[in-house]
Amino acid sequence: MTASRIDFSALDFLLIEENYSSRDMTGEMLRGFGVKRLREARTIEAAMRDIERRPPDIILCDWMTRPTDGLSFLRKLRADPAKPYANALVIMINEQASSDHIQAALGEGADGYIVKPFRPATLLDHLVQAITGQKTRPVE
């Protein structure tokens, strides 16, 4: 499946990013792909409240959120498979390209891993991979 065959407007996205500039830039990229339903959270705690009310289809989560980090969030999200949000697609975003970080995220159930900074084409590629169930290619 290619990006042109995915109706991004039909999917519900949640972007977890505490940095306003990064959140704004990533949101603009997503809207450029046709995303219409985009919710944003600055903290993991705010994101969990939002997720429990209405589980998204796809979550983009920055690893370096505070006080709870993205990896802890991923563990919590995947902890109870009976929860309606447990199977949401999750793409972890991080400045670290180390194999330890990548393997930790994928090992906890991330569906993708993107290294900052990234271009729109990189984000789109990782979204398509996650939606179609392909393995991530973490480094540009």
pLDDT digits (tens, 9 = 90+) for 13-62: 999 999 999 999 999 999 999 999 999 999 999 999 999 999 999 999 99
pLDDT at 2: 63
Average pLDDT estimate for 122-130: 96
Structural contact between residues 113 and 136, judged by C-beta atoms closer than 8 angstroms: yes
Domains of the chain: 3-132 (3.40.50.2300)
User: What predicted TM-score, i.e. pTM, was given to this entire model?
Assistant: 0.92
Other CB atoms within 10 Å distance of the CB of residue 4:
7
